[in-house]
Protein backbone atom coordinates (compact mmCIF):
# COMPACT_ATOMS: atom_id res chain seq x y z
CA UNK A 1 0.00 0.00 0.00
CA UNK A 2 1.31 3.44 -0.87
CA UNK A 3 0.26 7.09 -0.95
CA UNK A 4 2.03 10.19 -2.16
CA UNK A 5 1.08 13.82 -1.64
CA UNK A 6 2.46 17.24 -2.58
CA UNK A 7 2.05 19.79 0.20
CA UNK A 8 2.66 23.51 0.60
CA UNK A 9 5.76 24.22 2.71
CA UNK A 10 3.63 25.84 5.42
CA UNK A 11 1.59 25.15 8.55
CA UNK A 12 -1.38 24.31 6.30
CA UNK A 13 0.74 21.69 4.56
CA UNK A 14 1.72 20.25 7.92
CA UNK A 15 -1.93 19.88 8.97
CA UNK A 16 -2.73 18.15 5.67
CA UNK A 17 0.27 15.80 6.05
CA UNK A 18 -0.97 14.66 9.46
CA UNK A 19 -4.46 13.99 8.05
CA UNK A 20 -2.97 11.99 5.17
CA UNK A 21 -0.79 9.99 7.59
CA UNK A 22 -3.77 9.24 9.85
CA UNK A 23 -5.88 8.07 6.88
CA UNK A 24 -2.99 5.96 5.55
CA UNK A 25 -2.55 4.31 8.95
CA UNK A 26 -6.25 3.44 9.01
CA UNK A 27 -6.12 2.01 5.47
CA UNK A 28 -3.15 -0.15 6.46
CA UNK A 29 -4.90 -1.36 9.60
CA UNK A 30 -2.11 -0.12 11.88
CA UNK A 31 -2.74 -0.46 15.60
CA UNK A 32 -3.36 2.79 17.49
CA UNK A 33 0.22 2.95 18.81
CA UNK A 34 1.78 2.49 15.37
CA UNK A 35 -0.64 5.02 13.84
CA UNK A 36 0.22 7.57 16.52
CA UNK A 37 3.94 7.02 16.01
CA UNK A 38 3.62 7.52 12.27
CA UNK A 39 1.69 10.76 12.78
CA UNK A 40 4.19 12.08 15.32
CA UNK A 41 7.12 11.25 13.03
CA UNK A 42 5.40 13.04 10.11
CA UNK A 43 4.49 16.04 12.25
CA UNK A 44 7.90 16.44 13.89
CA UNK A 45 9.91 16.01 10.71
CA UNK A 46 7.81 18.36 8.60
CA UNK A 47 7.58 20.89 11.45
CA UNK A 48 11.37 21.03 11.46
CA UNK A 49 11.43 21.51 7.68
CA UNK A 50 8.86 24.32 7.77
CA UNK A 51 10.24 26.08 10.87
CA UNK A 52 13.99 25.63 10.43
CA UNK A 53 14.72 24.41 6.90
CA UNK A 54 13.98 27.70 5.16
CA UNK A 55 12.24 26.06 2.21
CA UNK A 56 12.21 28.16 -0.96
CA UNK A 57 9.18 30.49 -1.15
CA UNK A 58 6.27 28.77 -2.87
CA UNK A 59 8.04 25.41 -2.83
CA UNK A 60 6.28 22.14 -2.16
CA UNK A 61 7.01 19.31 0.24
CA UNK A 62 6.57 15.78 -1.03
CA UNK A 63 5.58 12.97 1.30
CA UNK A 64 5.31 9.32 0.33
CA UNK A 65 4.08 6.69 2.77
CA UNK A 66 4.49 3.02 1.95
CA UNK A 67 3.79 -0.23 3.74
CA UNK A 68 5.04 -3.51 2.32
CA UNK A 69 6.81 -6.67 3.46
CA UNK A 70 9.84 -4.50 4.30
CA UNK A 71 7.87 -2.45 6.81
CA UNK A 72 6.48 1.07 6.99
CA UNK A 73 8.45 3.79 5.19
CA UNK A 74 8.03 7.55 5.02
CA UNK A 75 9.91 9.51 2.36
CA UNK A 76 10.10 13.30 2.46
CA UNK A 77 11.57 15.74 -0.05
CA UNK A 78 11.85 19.49 0.34
CA UNK A 79 13.67 22.48 -1.15
CA UNK A 80 15.07 23.73 2.16
CA UNK A 81 18.63 23.96 3.40
CA UNK A 82 20.65 20.76 3.28
CA UNK A 83 20.14 18.95 6.57
CA UNK A 84 21.34 15.41 7.24
CA UNK A 85 19.71 14.32 10.52
CA UNK A 86 22.35 11.60 10.95
CA UNK A 87 24.96 14.29 11.64
CA UNK A 88 23.52 16.40 14.44
CA UNK A 89 24.71 16.94 18.01
CA UNK A 90 23.54 14.61 20.74
CA UNK A 91 20.23 15.58 22.34
CA UNK A 92 20.74 17.46 25.61
CA UNK A 93 17.12 18.08 26.51
CA UNK A 94 14.45 20.51 25.34
CA UNK A 95 15.21 24.16 24.70
CA UNK A 96 13.83 25.85 27.81
CA UNK A 97 14.13 29.38 26.38
CA UNK A 98 11.96 28.93 23.29
CA UNK A 99 10.37 25.55 23.96
CA UNK A 100 10.68 22.52 21.75
CA UNK A 101 13.87 20.84 20.75
CA UNK A 102 12.75 17.25 21.21
CA UNK A 103 11.23 16.69 17.75
CA UNK A 104 14.27 15.23 16.06
CA UNK A 105 14.84 12.98 19.06
CA UNK A 106 11.28 11.64 18.74
CA UNK A 107 11.86 10.96 15.04
CA UNK A 108 15.04 9.05 15.91
CA UNK A 109 13.27 7.10 18.66
CA UNK A 110 10.39 5.94 16.47
CA UNK A 111 12.06 5.67 13.06
CA UNK A 112 15.33 4.50 11.57
CA UNK A 113 16.98 6.78 9.03
CA UNK A 114 17.22 4.49 6.01
CA UNK A 115 18.65 7.11 3.62
CA UNK A 116 19.36 10.82 3.27
CA UNK A 117 20.52 12.72 0.19
CA UNK A 118 20.75 16.34 -0.91
CA UNK A 119 20.60 16.57 -4.69
CA UNK A 120 19.84 19.49 -7.00
CA UNK A 121 18.69 21.71 -4.16
CA UNK A 122 16.39 19.17 -2.53
CA UNK A 123 16.60 17.11 0.64
CA UNK A 124 15.36 13.53 0.44
CA UNK A 125 14.91 11.59 3.67
CA UNK A 126 13.70 7.99 3.91
CA UNK A 127 12.59 6.73 7.32
CA UNK A 128 11.66 3.20 8.39
CA UNK A 129 8.97 3.78 11.01
CA UNK A 130 8.63 1.44 13.99
CA UNK A 131 5.25 -0.31 14.01
The reply to whether 95 falls in a domain is: no
pTM comes to 0.89
CATH of the domain at 12: 3.30.565.10
The reply to whether 86 falls in a domain is: yes
The reply to whether 99 falls in a domain is: no
The reply to whether 35 falls in a domain is: yes
The reply to whether 61 falls in a domain is: yes
98-108 pLDDT per residue, tens: 556 678 888 99
How many domains are there within the chain?
Answer: 1
The reply to whether 39 falls in a domain is: yes
Binned at pLDDT 50, 70 and 90, residue 89 comes out as: low
Q: What is the mean pLDDT of the chain?
A: 91
The reply to whether 68 falls in a domain is: yes
The reply to whether 64 falls in a domain is: yes
Give the Cα separation of 85 and 97 in Å (integer): 23
- Which domain covers residue 115, as residue numbers? 2-90+104-129
22-48 pLDDT per residue, tens: 999 999 999 999 999 999 999 999 999
Amino acid sequence: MRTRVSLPASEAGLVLAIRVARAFAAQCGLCATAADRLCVVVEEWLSNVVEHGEPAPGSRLMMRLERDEGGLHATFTDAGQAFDPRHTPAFEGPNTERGGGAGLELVRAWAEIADYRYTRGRNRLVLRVTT
